[in-house]
Amino acid sequence: MKLLKKVTMFGLLAGFGVSALADNPISTYHYLADPGAAADDDYFYIITDSDDPAPANSNGYKIYALYAFRSRDMQNWTDYGIIYDARKVSGINDIWASGIAVHNGTFYIVFPDGGGGGIGYIKAPAIEGPWTNAVGQGKDKLVGGRGIIGCDGVSWCFDPGIFIDDDGTTYVTWGGGESTSRPNTDNFDIVKLNDAKNAPVGNGSHVKVNNLPTRKMLEASYIHKHKGTYYFSYSTGWQQGAPTIDYGTSNNVMGPYTWKGTILGDPSMNGRSINGNNNHHGIAEFKGHSYVVYHDRRIAKGHNGLEIIPADDGQPKPNEGYHRSVSVDEMFYNADGTIQTVKVTDEGPAQIENFDPYDWYPALTSSKQKGIRSRSNFVQGKAAEHVLLPLSSKESWLRVSGVDFGTAATGFTVEAASAADNNKIEIRTGSATGTLAGTCTLKNTGNKNTYAENKCEVEGLKGIVKQLFLVFKGDRDSTMAIKAWGFEGSGTTPPEPQKPFSGKAWEIPGKIEMEDFDIPGSGRGSEIKSYSENDSEDHGIENGGKSYREDTGVDIYKKATGYVVGYNQSGEWLEYTVNVKEAGDYTMFASVATDNSTASFTLSIDDKSIAEVPVSGDSWDDFVKVKANVTLPAGEHVLRFTVTGDWFDIDYMTFAKGKDAKDPDDETIGIKGFRVLGADAVANFDVFDLTGKKVSSFTARNIHEAKKLWRENPQSRNVQGVCIIRNRYNGAVARVRTTR
């Protein structure tokens, strides 16, 4: 769902009117570890892996998935749940500590496959995905088995980091050496990626950090840049007790680096360790501040009164060493560019801007939580979906901090499923039992997978509310699933629906160019969407240069006939606002090309199916017509084209009045000097070989007949391979293959 536009009136400056502080860790309802960090102008991002699958008495790591979080204010975090799951992606094993970067609106993650067997590389248009393979060259991995290069002598080949420099050049680094057999290791690697193909420039280069003290390099390699200086940080070995996060600096991203000190020790508070047998971190600058994210054992240790979450097998008080949590604190530099050792806090960093309640938020958006659980519905090729599951018979709530309601909020909307009656959400201020601003009773949808929109009025919410609580009430636990929520009021901008590409609805009867699908709207809800694309990468760029529809990912090619939509895969769809002149029967003709017989699509009007259309062919270069009889209502409607069988190109659709009507394209081949060529008229066609030499000329009624005539012409036997046939009048071309 997209966000509502913000028009709040007060407290828009960073920190203006904000006094609340965050609580570490960022999530208290599942076990997370090995964080990485990145930031752009709008958000600070964290990715983690998860210890959730580990049983209570685990004596090792069970790590299979990556989670993602983001924050605009460093206090309220949106948890997107599982964004990539090795258990559901073919060819990938465990996923351990990973690195993240964002550049020009695209997100990149490097992850270790199998805990040390290589490094995968994926990308996405948003932190929640969908994530696709970014390696290229037909490879599954960037590094290691089935990769472009090997691990280059690094023993474990894991804990990768990714760094994108100011000029857009990308670097990937990884470790680590074995702390037992090589206790003095400096065995880290860094490789430079050269261009959009993501091919490494040569093999990796070993990273050297000079003047090391007794704490040697082990794992968690990471590169960041501050005021022109490159910082290489890493987790030290276990020889001197618990590992620390140390760093070196250089004026060259490839090093060598000189050791400078410790960024983060073993996180401990009041003399009590909250870390354990390893250490990991991520660093990013955001809105004039620098932050370090790291893991500890706060939840498993019950630190600071935290609820100890049961392990995956339901047993209480799980093994602390293998049930970690993720925290964040601000990091400061000295005047000479060295880093002050980070002070680990319960509070976390200060909130740097107020929270806007008038956006539409995924349900797990909060600064603190109690008595909740969550469920991730990961599907490869789709954006992540994460839902909140309250333990509503107990004390169960989310807290949102530093909320700027402007003049006043008037309503609250929540998208939720409920498998019981009398489930409700109370909106309160100050505490979970504080002043009641409103109550939303949820519709009983019969199960936890069917969602409905619920609205209720609120009062007393104006100006800046330091602590806002969403309190979940019900007779039984886990009978409701919350997907998203938001407030309405003085800051609300109504959602804007999708609209025709040219500003005017397509006329029927008439032609629809497939690349000119509707422009998406803004706001929330399905009514704003105009397309669905399984793969965020626009493959059409490879064949046509610049993308025709920027930021959509729809695969649009430039071919001889103009732009076509290609790479069509089952489940993808495009929508078009149409204006049907008269209700009644029509014949739909679609210009398609494919080399298989299993492709297909359906058409629907306002979500009502009107046609199922099989597609078959023998060449990607030869466009043929498929047709279907449809019945259309008069007036303006939304026509949806949905792919049901993979792999075909589609150029346009034409609707002709009447059942089994003639194809309008056959009635008019071309116009030249006021001469109209009808269905029974003929046009001149020229045939060229691939060197551009004209090898024949003849007449035909249309290009399909011209291709047939050329294949049957004895002269074609003298021309090997592919020929180009061109209509002199309208410039239409087609390829045809001949063999001797």
Burial class from Cβ neighbours inside 10 Å (0-12, 13-18, 19+) for residue 418 reads: buried
Q: Tell me: pLDDT of 277 over 60.
A: yes
Q: Is the pLDDT of residue 552 over 60?
A: yes
At residue 284, the pLDDT reads: 97
| Residue of 49, 51, 159, 219 with catalytic role | 219
**Common-topology check for domains 361-489 and 506-667:** yes
List C-alpha distances in Å: 357 to 7, 398, 418.
Answer: 11, 14, 24
Which of the listed CATH numbers 2.60.120.260, 3.90.1150.10, 3.40.50.1700, 3.40.50.620 matches domain 506-667? 2.60.120.260
Domain residue extents for the chain: 32-331, 361-489, 506-667, 671-738
Averaged pLDDT, 254-278: 76
Catalytic residue among 23, 34, 52, 649: 34
Lowest-confidence region among 55-59, 166-170, 455-459? 55-59
Residue 545's SS3 state is coil
pTM: 0.70
Kindly list the distances between the CA atom of residue 697 and the CA atoms of 678, 690, 716, 727, in Å, as whole numbers in the listed order.
20, 16, 12, 10
The DSSP string of 74-92 is SSSEEEEEEEEEGGGSTT-
User: pLDDT for 85-107, tens place per residue?
Assistant: 988 888 787 888 899 999 989 99
Determine the length of the chain: 740
Higher pLDDT, 216 or 430: 430
Report the alpha-carbon distance of residue 383 to residue 361 in Å, rounded.
Answer: 15
> How much is the pLDDT for 654?
96
Asked whether the predicted pLDDT for residue 452 surpasses 80, the reply is yes
Nearest alpha-carbon partner for 113 in 133, 138, 137: 133
| pLDDT value of residue 567 | 87
Q: How far apart are CA 292 and CA 385, in angstroms?
A: 27
In angstroms, rounded to a whole number, what is the distance separating the alpha carbons of residues 361 and 385?
A: 12
Kindly report, residue by residue over 402-434, the tens digit of the pLDDT. 999 988 999 999 999 999 999 999 999 999 999
Give the pLDDT confidence score for residue 668 in this predicted structure. 37
* Lowest mean pLDDT segment, chosen from 218-232, 416-430, 663-677: 663-677
pLDDT in tens, 474-519: 999 989 999 999 999 877 556 678 999 999 999 999 999 999 999 9
198, 135 contact by CB (below 8 A): yes
Give the burial string for 591-612 (b: 16+ CB within 10 Å, else e): bbbbeeeebbbbbbbeeeebbe
pLDDT classification of 193: cutoffs 50, 70, 90: confident
Distance separating alpha carbons of residues 259 and 523, to the nearest angstrom: 49
Q: Is the backbone of residue 181 left (phi > 0), alpha (psi -120 to 50) or beta? A: alpha
- What would the DSSP string read from start to end of 686-698? EEE-TTS-EEEEE
> How many Å apart are CA 27 and CA 445, to the nearest integer?
28
Q: Kindly report, residue by residue over 241-258, the tens digit of the pLDDT.
A: 678 899 999 999 988 899
The hierarchical CATH code for the domain 361-489 is 2.60.120.260
pLDDT band, residue 276 (cuts 50/70/90) = low
Q: pLDDT of 113-163, one tens digit each?
A: 876 678 889 999 999 999 988 887 777 788 887 778 777 777 777 889 999
- Whether residue 205 is predicted with pLDDT greater than 90 in this model: the reply is no
pLDDT score of 729: 61
pLDDT for 713 beyond 70: yes
What does pLDDT average to over the chain?
84
| pLDDT tens-place string over residues 649-662 | 999 999 999 999 99
Q: Using an 8 Å Cβ cutoff, are 286 and 351 in contact?
A: no
Active-site annotation holds for 219: yes
**Cβ atoms of 653 and 588 closer than 8 Å:** yes
Query: Among this protein's residues, is 34 annotated catalytic?
Result: yes
Angstrom distances, CA of residue 99 to CA of 122, 202, 423, 669:
11, 21, 40, 57
Q: Given its phi and psi angles, is residue 192 left (phi above 0), alpha (psi -120 to 50 degrees) or beta?
A: beta
| Rounded Cα gap, residues 57 and 157, in angstroms | 28
At 541, is the secondary structure helix, strand, or coil? helix
For the domain made up of 32-331, give the CATH fold: Tachylectin-2; Chain A (2.115.10)
